[in-house]
Structures are given as structure tokens and as C-alpha cells.
Structure 1
């Protein structure tokens, strides 16, 4: 299928296929999309497959600053329509959607991760209600394992992508994390955190990362292959080392999108780590457990 495409890109996973075309002129992008989709429909017919137009969705991803009202249209031409050269065509157009779930992630037409955050929070609330019942029947260790197998895996899926969104969005997940941990920890731990008015101790007690540090760790793991491309700062000889150093240069960016690319986000995360952790990431491949422990230790309440 990928070999028949002339304009654009095709991304496939199992039986899910995503066709993307991009252009500054929406009419040109629409024309390329129609041409590519026609080629896919012809290819599918030749190999004995049928494109299900009801399950195929069309989404127009664009900037939130783009307020132009243009309705795109892509048609699923049938085999007979191709033979008749589209004469008296009554083929069905693809449904245009504002957001769509693709490989477990809610993709929004503005590339806003708000809908996906709501999707994750909905799942976490369901888990929270179940744990609220189980806490009277099973011990803390079992509750923690249930959290790791259900809630933590849901939060971690695709986190290196949606985790770079606005902090106000991630706060919803962070508050749900605290609510769930308050359920599974022993009562005396919960009361101690309430007394100190610092629920970060819950993460330290459970040895679990918050949504913010989990995003950083996932990014470090996924972008490990790009560490050789980092631009280190040059320091004069004899400069005394301190615990925290901003060792990596940040590229100049003009907007929030630039801050979410790995070229900016990766060195920015590393600059927040102690020099020892920076060296571990740069020099070794088995760094994830040590950096995770560093994040967990940082939750300890300072007195």
C-alpha cells in the first residue's frame, strides 16, 4: 500500500493505516489527499480488499489561529466509478471529524491534548472508584500493584507526546494521582501528609512518579538515541563544579511548539537535573532506574 502513494506519508500499525498530506494551500492538500486515497482504493480492489468508508475518518489538522471556514471533501470512489471515469458519481464522502482516537490517543483537529487528558482522567476515575472499594479488602502492597498495572500504565501510554502539553492540563491527572494514592496508602501516612500539608510524600512512600516527572523520564528514554546531538556549553578551565549546572545549550525557539520539540525539551530537562544525573544519561545506557530514584528522592519533605 505504501508504494502506491505519490504525495504525502503513510503510517501503519497492524490493521490501522493513517494517510497524511500537508500543504500551505488547503485546496492543494485536499487534491493530493483525494489522489492518494483513489490510489489506495484501486490498490485495495486489485488485492481483493474493500475500503470501509464508514470506518474511515477525515480530520483537518490546523493551527488554532487559522479561522478560515473551508469544508474539505474526500470521496470514497467505488470500482465502477473508476471505470466510468466518475460520470454520474454518487459515491460517499468521508466523514469529517474534529477529533479521532488513533492507536489509543485522541487526536484533535487543533492538536490540542485537552480531549486526550479528559479521556485519561475518565479512566483514572473509574479505577479510583474500584480502589476505594478494594482498600477495605486487600493490603497496601496489592493496592499498589493494582495502581501500577492499571492507572500507571494508562498514564504512561503516549506520555512522551501528550505530556509536553500545558501544565494546567496535566494538573488534572496530577490531582487524580494524589486522590488515588490517598486511597491506597495506610491511614497514618495519609494523616501525616495532611498534617504537613504536603501530599508529595505520597509519591515518595509509594515509589511512584508524578505525571510531571514521569513525562521527563519517558522523554529521556525515548530520546536516548539523540543524546549525541546535544550541544554542550563550553566552560573555562578551573571553573568549580556545583551540584546543578546548565550544561546544555537551548536552541532558539519562537513559540510553544518549538519548546515541545526534542531539540529544546531534552536539553531543558537535562539542565534541571544534577550534574551527576546529566553525566549518567550522557555516558551510560542504563540510566532510567537511577534518574527515577532521583525524582522519587526529590519528593521527600524538606524540614
Structure 2
């Protein structure tokens, strides 16, 4: 991981982007030689692992930085589908994520955040007061107030916000494998 003196993630995101660009060249050459299903396995093994490494940390970075990686991700996904599907998705390449059942970086970050904190109550607190409000009856979590932009990107703010946005049946799921499946399906439906 690359971290600068301001504890920013710009250097790391640039490092990941450069690695992906180098890999994209090799991937393009492979796309003419091997079947698409094998190419998808290579994508999941190489590209997805590079993107996912430390994503729960650098994923809280600015959206413009994350969009760099997402744009590269789309270039990879265009190689995983046939020309007909590419033409069909030409106006909106984000549909490729749904077709290939691959999460974009921005949603993959949310997925990893929820999975890594599944069953943990370290960064979240339930609404606790004597009044029977809708938040208490729906099992929602308390989102702390913040004073600046940095506070809005912290885990203690983002995790309860993410969990509150999930449907109740996903949020209350105790089985981690089932939680993973339901969460991925829910996030793919948001594309």
C-alpha cells in the first residue's frame, strides 16, 4: 500500500491504476486467444484481487479517485463480452457490471465493508431511547453527527449508514454465506 504524508490514498489509487493499465494490455492480447469464460476467471483472479486489496481502506477516498479505477474496470469488462453485448451497452457501460455479475469498485467497497463487519458491533450502535420511534422498531443503527467532510468518510459514519440502507432481511441475516449472497444481489440491483 502506498500512503502519502497526509494519509491520503491518491498515491495508492494511482499505483493500482498503473498496475491495471499494464494488465489491460496483456488482457487485451489474451482476449483474442482464449474463451470468454476463461478470461472472466483470469479477470477475477488478477484484476479483482488487485482492486479488492485494501479496498475497505482506500474505498473511503474521494469519488473522483475511485472513478479512475472504475473506468479501468469497464475497459476490462468490455473485453469479457461479445461485440453484440458491447453495442447493446454502448450508451451505458455500467450495465456490463450487471450482465457479468461483477461489482463496480464503489459498490465492492460497500460489500467488503459490510462483510468485514458482519456480526460485529464495534463501529455501530442501535438507537437506544425510551420513545418507540420508527428507527427503534425497524432495528436501525445510530448515525453519528460529524462536523467536517473527513468525519463523513470515517468508518463509524459510513458503516451504520450502509447497514441502514439495506433491507431488514439482509441486515438481520446471521449466516455469513447467505448474508454475502443477499448483499451482492442487492448491490447488483442498484446498478
Superposition TM-score tier, normalisation by shorter sequence: 0.7 to 0.9
CA distance in 2, matches of 1:228, 1:276: 21
Contact 1:246–1:272, Cα closer than 8 Å, also in 2: no
Query: Which gives a bigger RCO, structure 1 or 2 (Cα 8 Å, sep 6+)?
Result: 2
Match among 98, 118, 126 for residue 232 of structure 1: 126
CA distance in 2, matches of 1:174, 1:210: 6
Q: Which one has a larger percent strand, Structure 1 or Structure 2? A: 1
Q: Which residue of 2 aligns with 1:296?
A: 188
Task: Find the residue that maps to 1:146 and give its secondary structure.
Answer: helix
Q: Which residue of 2 aligns with 1:215?
A: 109
Q: 1:233 to 1:181 in 2, by over 3 A?
A: same
Match among 53, 63, 80 for residue 157 of structure 1: 53
CA distance in 2, matches of 1:164, 1:230: 17
Q: 1:175 to 1:246 in 2, by over 3 A?
A: farther
CA distance in 1, matches of 2:161, 2:54: 20
Task: Find the residue that maps to 1:145 and give its secondary structure.
Answer: helix
Alignment of 1:121-160 (within 5 A): 121-160=17-56
Q: Highest CA radius of gyration, 1 or 2? A: 1
Residue segments in structure 2 that go unaligned for 5+ positions in a row: none
Q: Which one has a larger percent helix, Structure 1 or Structure 2? A: 2
What CA deviation, in whole Å up to 9, does each residue of 1:177-204 have, x standing for no partner? Answer: 111111221111111101xx22121011
Contact 1:223–1:262, Cα closer than 8 Å, also in 2: no
TM value normalised by structure 2: 0.87
Q: Do structure 1's residue 270 and structure 2's residue 177 form an aligned pair?
A: no
CA distance in 2, matches of 1:185, 1:268: 34
Residue segments in structure 1 that go unaligned for 5+ positions in a row: 1-104, 240-244
- How many pairs were matched up? 185
Note the C-alpha offset of 1:229: 5.9
Note the C-alpha offset of 1:246: 8.9
Alignment root-mean-square deviation, CA:
2.1
